Amino acid sequence: MAIELNQPALRHARALIRDGKVVKDERDDWSEAAPSAADENAFLDKEGWTAYSHWHLGVDHSANRETKGAYSFPFGDFSKVHRSGVISGESRAGQYDHDEIRDALRSLLELIDGS
């Protein structure tokens, strides 16, 4: 499993932040703010896999692109970027040596905190 930075998702996150579509919550809030499996399924049914992928900074190109397992490091609730999701993802990416993803999340956090 080779998880890589999902560049379209990074562009999507930056655009959302620039447009003010951000929840400036705290790190511990992500457990409540993260989409549930039911939320994910509803979003997939309505928007499809490409839109779903744009909410995850990690992608495993060796996995089936039409499975949730292909995507990791979510950063929002399918409408807004959550600061808590960015912080949580940055920490997790650092723990598992996904340096490029960690650095991208760090840059998103700086963008959020600077807005």
> For the segment 68-95, what is each residue's pLDDT rounded down to a tens digit?
999 999 999 999 999 999 999 999 999 9
Query: Average of pLDDT values for 111-115?
Result: 90
DSSP collapsed to 3 states, the chain: CCEEECHHHHHHHHHHHHCCCEECCCHHHHHHHCCCHHHHHHHHHHHCHHHHHCCEEEEECCCCCCCHHHEEEECECCCCEEHHHHHHHHHHHHHCCCHHHHHHHHHHHHHHHHC
Residue 1 has pLDDT above 90, yes or no: no
Segment 17-59, tens digit of pLDDT: 999 999 999 888 999 999 999 999 999 999 999 999 999 999 9
- Of residues 115 and 7, the one with the higher pLDDT is 7
Query: What per-residue confidence (pLDDT) applies to 74?
Result: 97
- What are the residue ranges spanned by the domains of the chain? 3-114
Q: Please give the model's pTM, rounded to 2 decimal places.
A: 0.94
Whether the per-residue pLDDT at 115 is higher than 90: the answer is no
